[in-house]
A and B are shown apart, each in its own frame.
Chain A
Amino acid sequence: MLETENYWKNKINQLTKIKEENSKSNENIKRWENEVLDPWNKKNANNNNDFSTTSKIDVKTSYSPSDLQGNIDYSMPGEFPYTRGPYPNMYRGKKWTMRMFSGFGTPEDTNNRLKYLIKNGQTGLSIAFDMPTLYGYDADNDRSKGEVGKCGCNISSLEDMEVLFKEIPLNKVSTSMTINAPASILTAMYASVALKNNISLNELRGTVQTDILKEYIAQKEWAYPPKDHMRIVRDMMEYCTKEMPKWNYVSISGYHIREAGSNAAQELAFTLANGFTYLELGQKAGLKVEEFAPRLSFFFNCTMNFFEEIAKFRAARRIWATVLKEKYGVKKGSSLALRFHTQTSGASLTWQQPMNNIVRTAIEALAGVLGGTQSLHTNSYDEAWALPTEQAVKVALRTQQIIAEETGVAQSVDPLGGSYYLEHLTNELEEKAYRYFEKIDELGGVISAIEKGYLQKEIAETAYRSQLDIEKEKEVIVGVNKYAEIEEDKIEILKVDDEAQKIQINRLKVLKRNRDSKKVNDALENLRKTYENNDENCMYDTIKAVQAYATLQEIVDVGRQVFGEWKEPQIF
């Protein structure tokens, strides 16, 4: 029998009741406070700052077993609820994938960078696209002026994709593509490149981000309104389940939610809430959860509040497994285990004294590993200035390699499990997440909460509060509001000039001259009809349009005409 009635409320009650009981029966702590701590504090320096985490969880002087009574997680790695890790032996079997996100300029530029990373020991590819690509505008569009290749690689057509992966064996690498609004089109392009090279679709391994919900909430790179985008996600779920069984078609991302200014609890809760929404989408499409849940992977941020971050990863795994089992009736173990990619926090990097960023990234990466990440991107020290140089990327990659090979932290699984403090933080974050799930349900679910602007406003509010804390020096950023220097260190930075734009525009001009324009028009017309019919799966016609060399924007424009464009509710 599934527990769906008042599910969140019951969870919250259960957890708060345990805490109440614990506060009544902590004799040993009270004795220690009276006999040891208080006398000490009276005689010695004691900072009266409020000690708390980013999610405003109070931090006590010390923790003990009495903080965990009635709520001790005795599970082991690789078993329900997977708090300690999705696999029994974790990094003893296979280290996390070192997946450096990269992309700039033309497809040729990025192809060279990918080959450089492979040569230096990177084990998975991860592509960044520029803003025109993310929004679905071609390089030759007026809106793309000045932006082509600046924030990532530009892709305007299948031809660009062929260049991007030139001489990279797609059946041997796993590729992650950070693309959301046009995810179905980029997936179609990737599949088409593979087919052209006689690689079958069921050999393709990788991840396409596709998480449009977090776009409305945080990153804000959208094209159509939420319901229409979700229909395309549904089509991708169906298509990939059938045709590309090793392809993770959605990476449910907290990263951007955190970068936009939220705290750890908000990142955790909003991301998992999005996860439940995709789960329901698949269910409604008639897919079996047990079959598609393993294809849903997550992507979290890892920033500076060390223990809270580790607790966040543990809480995420526990909540996902628990809710899937109890509320959605998933039985198969491997479908319950949450797997995730981690990226260190870009927002934590400072423009001032940039070399300090190497240290920040190392600490964040360590937390990601202690939290049991499956893959990791480490940011480069120069990223508050520009896209990273090769030198800076190498230091970032070496940071991971040092953690993996020199520190010994990867030897035992979940080595911090059992720490009273960490277990307490894990429990606290879990409870905070349940409170947000309840609130989001009251608002009618994630999409409705987005349309009302609730999630966006929650994040903006936290971002503003945090900035005020920085200005009041309640929150310290070394080199910025403490230990600042007047003369700044100079570093070499990567410059992406407008050459990429010229090359891309030119390539499009030649492409448009040489392709079969009737074939293009027919393919786009078929796609329009499919878009208009909600019951049809649009992936097949998307692939045909891509293969006819219709451009990215030509395809997205069909969608814009059919679905309209999204206008964000007023946030400020």
Chain B
Amino acid sequence: MSETTVAGLTTEEMIVNVGPQHPSTHGVLRFVVTLDGERVNECVSHIGYLHSSLEKIAETLRYEQYITNTDRFDYLNGLGNELCYVQAVEKLLGIEPPLRTRFIRTVMAELKRISSHLVYLGCYGNDIGAVTIFLHAFRERELLMDIFEAVTGGRLLYNYLRIGGLRNDLPTGFGDQVHRFLDHFPRRLTEMTDLLTENRIFIGRTRGVGMLTAEQALSYGVTGPSLRGCGVPYDLRKLRPYAAYDQVEFDIPTFPEGDCLSRHLVRMEEMRQSLRIVRQLLDKMPDGEIQAEVPRRLRPEAGEVYERVESPRGELGCYLVSDGSDKPYRMHWRGPSFYNLQVLPEMVRGGLVADFIATLGSLDPVAPDIDR
């Protein structure tokens, strides 16, 4: 490179390890980054530190036993993962869950999306250097955690969805609790927007940084807010409505620039849309059964199924092969973080070290979701 030579002096490239022990790798990730001074020349990601063999475990567990494991790979989207898995098994068995169940599942998935985006917001602020937003975001997330705890008994690992139904119906006072949150949260969201999103330094750090074109994104299989941040309105909730998404009105926020700022703005707007969805669903919540008729032993016919949902990070897919026994023959997860991370070297090449961190954070990867 021409920049390495200044008046006959040559500098060496420096290879640094970002991770596995690094403050902003969102779990245990490792990148080998080649630096020319502050400039990033090459970035190679090394994954697998959090591989927990969840796909192999599925082959040893009965269908209904596996649900609790789905909470554990993308731990910020536990209920969404459960939704994906449960829908896949239901598809395999040909079971249709009752309407109320579908509504409740959707409400929980959307609340979980808000909570996941709040974690993103806090961590991203932390990556950029604004530490306070981290605790403000987690403070609001705590209210959601209380809601999840009241409904499912767990704060992070829920094991709430069941094949063809739910573990239990909504607790008394659920509507009030969620409505309190819905009334309270938009104010705090505005406050957090004031604190971080509109800050001139934040905009300076993210605008034009980590550029991703729509073509690149599509060719690498990037999905979710990272893709919508390139102006592609690809959202499975709209394109292929599952659960109760066909019952509600909402918009898919897209921003065309493809930089860190537009990815950030997509997530901020998605939180508002999720609030809108939850409000509509609560108003329309039907009464009735929550559990469909399910055989005592789940033995799907031999066959295969692929089910996908929109997780906060993108398209989450669950591929199941049944050989007719009560355990899956093979299972595969399409973790959105894994696919989104692949495009990182393209985005950070030529940027600065600080841009590398900002870009990594804007992809919102969850390390166990990459490795599974």
User: Real complex partners, A and B?
Assistant: no
B residues neighboring A (CB under 8 Å): none
